[in-house]
Amino acid sequence: MNRLTEAKIILVIRSTRLADLKAKFATKSQARFYINQLGGDFTDYEREDAAYQQAIEHAKHTLDALGRVQVVQREFLPNFVFGAQDLVVALGQDGLVANTLKYLNEQAIVGVNPDPQRWDGQLLPFHVEDLDKIMRELLKGARNTREVTMAEARLNTGLVINAVNDLFIGMKSHASARYHIGLGNEAEVQSSSGVIVSTGLGSTGWFKSLMAGAAGVAAASGGAPSTLRKDLQFAWESNYLYFTVREPFPSNTTGAGLVFGKVTQSQPLVIESRMAEKGVIFSDGIEHDFLEFNSGTKATISLAARKGHLVV
């Protein structure tokens, strides 16, 4: 076979809702019975799965003609080692692109929308039908990439975790997290549902929902109108992050003054855990890939040195 490249092409995929249901209930029939009993539309699960499987086969066939292809499931990303010359394609929703980016080291990623009628895909500029053209242009150096700023949490234990969308710092369960938080000249002890630190790429996701909720609560309780500042949705390449504290609880020993702010390279966010156990830091919604964050552990949160690169 005459391949266009000897570089390995990594196709990253994820399981569908139907696949998850089959894993839970052992058979498709049992999964159908469960959904139908609850009044759900099982045919929607089937349509989604069929469209995705078809997209996977189409993508594999296209990529096989260009080089050596390795398919990697999303759940194996934390332990997968990407080669420096690997070409990476993520076939799925926006979250799959973000989840993959955090494990790359300067490799560019091609985001492909497997089902445009179902998913909007802000990080999925291409359809499966575009893949042959895009990959050939990429191999010739004829495609542009867009830089993505990433966040980094560096612990005093030496461990580091990066985020493409956001970092969560808090408790593994729904119990309140206790910690000391500092930004510039401000600092206080807090008890809350956790701290979210968001990148520009993540500013349209979890961060936006937090801000919308805060604006709505403020308006309903007689505060400011329920409108969001336009600059809170900031560019992927921005050289800053934003943090917000979820549900801070003011008491005799905890405050609720330092609950929102901008994090820069010269002004990092520093959080010291005061949780005896179950303190965690995870990123981009992948809860099983976390750092322990218990008493005495200090996290310095700022911009990561490395950047993500998304093919556009």
- What is the pLDDT, as a whole number, of residue 22? 94
pLDDT band at 190 (very low <50, low <70, confident <90, very high): very high
* Tens-digit pLDDT profile for residues 39-74: 999 999 999 999 999 999 999 999 999 999 999 999
pLDDT at 63 (0 to 100): 96
pTM recorded for the entire structure: 0.86
Q: CA-CA-CA-CA torsion for 76, 235, 115, 141, nearest 10 degrees?
A: -80
Query: For residues 89 and 143, is the Cβ–Cβ distance under 8 A?
Result: no
- Given a cut of 70, whether residue 203 has pLDDT beyond it is yes
- Give bridge partners of residue 168 from the DSSP assignment: 196, 282
pLDDT of residue 1: 56
d(CA 190, CA 171): 13
Q: What domains can be seen in the chain, in order of their start residue?
A: 8-143 (3.40.50), 151-304 (2.60.200.30)
Mean pLDDT score, 93-103? 91
C-alpha 155/C-alpha 248 separation (Å) is 23
Is 80 exceeded by the pLDDT of residue 2?
no
Dihedral sign of CA atoms 240, 246, 248, 254 in order: negative
- Of 193, 215, 190, 205, the residue nearest 242 (C-alpha): 205
**Per-residue model confidence (pLDDT) at position 215:** 80
**Collapsed DSSP state (helix, strand, coil) of residue 107:** coil
Instruction: Reply yes or no on whether the pLDDT at 227 is more than 70.
Output: no
Q: Which residues pair with 126 in a beta bridge?
A: 112
Please tell me the predicted confidence (pLDDT) of residue 225. 63
Task: Tell me the sheet residues that pair with 109.
Answer: 88, 310
Q: What is the pLDDT of residues 8-22, one digit of tens each?
A: 999 999 999 999 999
**Is residue 308 pLDDT above 80, yes or no?**
yes
Q: What is the rounded distance in angstroms from the CA atom of residue 219 to the CA atom of residue 242?
A: 22
Task: Quote the mean pLDDT of the chain.
Answer: 93
Q: 305: number of CA atoms within 13 Å, CB side? A: 3
Question: For strand 298-303 and strand 269-273, is the pairing parallel, antiparallel, or unpaired?
Answer: antiparallel
pLDDT band at 204 (very low <50, low <70, confident <90, very high): confident
Residue 230 has pLDDT above 70, yes or no: no
Return d(Cα 146, Cα 292) in angstroms, integer. 32
- Asked whether the beta carbons of 272 and 301 are under 8 A apart, the reply is no
212: pLDDT strictly greater than 90 = no
Model confidence band, residue 222 (pLDDT cutoffs 50, 70, 90): confident
pLDDT over 70 at 293, yes or no: yes
